[in-house]
Amino acid sequence: MSNENLLNETHNPALTSWVNSANQTNTDFPIQNLPFGIFKIANTEQSFRGGVAIGDQIVDLAALSSLSLFEGIAQDAVKACAANELNTFMAMGKEAWSALRLALSNALKEGSPLQEKLNDCLVAQAGVEYALPCNIGDYTDFYTSIHHATSVGLKFRPDNPLLPNYKWVPIGYHGRSSSIDVSGRDFKRPSGQTKPPTATEPSVGPCKRLDYELEVGIFIGKGNDLGDAISIDNAEDHVFGLCMFNDWSARDIQGWEYQPLGPFLSKNFASTVSPWIVTTEALAPYREAWTRVESDPQPLPYLESEKNRAMGSFDIQLQALLETETMREKNEEAVQMSQSNFKDSYWTVAQMVAHHTVNGCNLRAGDMFGSGTQSGPNPDEAGSMLELSNAGADPITLPNGEQRTFLEDGDKVIMKGWCQKDGAARIGFGAVSAVILPAE
């Protein structure tokens, strides 16, 4: 069993598009990617509708749907994408996702007889505004990086960094979906109740330890009925795709409030997703074997399968960058804070889905999981400032001489993700970014 079984003509690295910008070496959106999002022309009264990124353009799926160029399930799928959210399309399941991907691939490839008609459906990405790709009904945040869990555990519980359940249970908590927004929507520094270790009583005020979390967002497509568990081998029939995700965190609020029920107001003031969902199908060339070191507990049967061992992991490079207000004023480029890889995750996407539903919990189309902060095995691969600054003890000096322990007002955090290897087209996720505005 290998990821070869998941590959089809849409992944052929030799495919090129008549959209020239899609053939440039470093584009995130070659014809092999075809990610889905929701957009409209900026500063207009237009309705939001579905789109697919190709090079520096977007195929307007509402316009394409009205041309009735596709047939059968592919036409049903593109019609669903004319709506102002992708939930209906996501609920249609893998056969529909795959049929539309193939139809789009054929229509966008070099020499397609549909070029002239599709050309009228293109919109430049530079002139659009994005919305959330779907209505996110429920949001669950996992904690799948053992490197992050261990280094954060050391800061909150030096005597007991990794709790004994970690290697058995894909740990998670139910977050809040109402405050998830799309890239580019800036937000105010949150206020809340904190109690520094030196204070005798807590006080309320603006967060002083505002952090980012470098995460992968996982979008559920087809749901399951209440009471029906999803088996690990069927898990990916329910996963529409992945995005880049910044799960902002207020560490000082978290440190005071999180026991015994876990994070609350330290996490639900803002979370930001990238505009584009890269489908699980597009990621097929980047599937990797998943392993669990022999000295660790092996997964319980519901979290174990041959398929998960063979291709459960995703080889996705993740990068966090910081652009301070000073850098912006001087036109300096954002600097890299860290880089890590989703394949270092201790638990896979399929294990998260199987675990979430083992009790019969029902997932619905558009639900989102956060992967948890993705930190790699090396200290410079830490996916949060809490780790990079050693909980504020060791300030980070930026190339322009500025220092940071946590985020300051005016800071813009940018996250990018991409997949690259020999024998496959490089595909990317685009970016997720937002600026911290001052507290009220």
Between 149 and 282, CB nearer to Mn ion: 149
Residue 387 interacts with Mn ion (CB under 5 A)? no
Q: Indicate whether 247 belongs to the interface with Mn ion (CB under 5 A).
A: yes
- Please state, in angstroms and rounded to a whole number, the distance separating the CA atoms of residues 392 and 207: 14
Q: Decide if residue 213 touches Mn ion (CB under 5 A).
A: yes
- CB-based contact 351:170 (threshold 8 Å): yes
Environment class of 200 (CB within 10 Å of its CB; exposed 0-12, middle 13-18, buried 19+): exposed
Q: Please, which residues bridge with residue 139 across strands?
A: 368
Q: Least Å distance between CB 372 and Mn ion? A: 6
**Comparison of 213 and 281: residue with beta carbon closer to Mn ion:** 213
Q: Please check whether residue 212 is in contact with residue 433, taking contact to mean a CB–CB distance below 8 angstroms.
A: no
For every residue of 414-438, DSSP letters joined together read EEEEEE--TTS--EEEEEEEEEEEP
Distance CA 217, CA 236 (A): 14
Name the residue nearer to Mn ion (CB basis): 299 or 370. 370
Least distance (Å) between residue 317 CB and Mn ion: 19
28 binds Mn ion (CB under 5 A): no
- What is the closest distance, in whole angstroms, from the C-beta atom of residue 143 to Mn ion in the complex? 8
The rounded distance, in Å, linking the Cα atoms of 378 and 304 is 27
> Closest approach of Cβ 344 to Mn ion, in Å?
16
Which residue number has the CB closest to Mn ion?
Answer: 247
Compute the least distance from the CB of residue 130 to Mn ion, in Å: 22
Whose Cβ is closer to Mn ion: residue 174's or residue 421's?
174
Piece of 95-103, 183-191, 284-292, 364-372 that binds Mn ion (CB under 5 A)? 364-372
Closest CA to 346 of 289, 284, 292: 292
Largest CA distance in the chain: 74
Q: Is 141 in the site for Mn ion (CB under 5 A)?
A: yes
Q: Which stretch binds Mn ion (CB under 5 A): 318-326, 362-370, 382-390, 407-415?
A: 362-370
d(CA 258, CA 123): 45
Catalytic residues: 148
Q: How many CA atoms lie within 13 A of 412 on its CB side?
A: 20
**CB under 5 A: which stretch of 25-33, 135-143, 407-415, 416-424 binds Mn ion?**
135-143
Identify which range of 68-76, 95-103, 209-217, 231-239 contacts Mn ion by CB under 5 A.
Answer: 209-217
Q: Which residues of the shown chain bind Mn ion in the complex (CB under 5 A)?
A: 141, 213, 247, 370
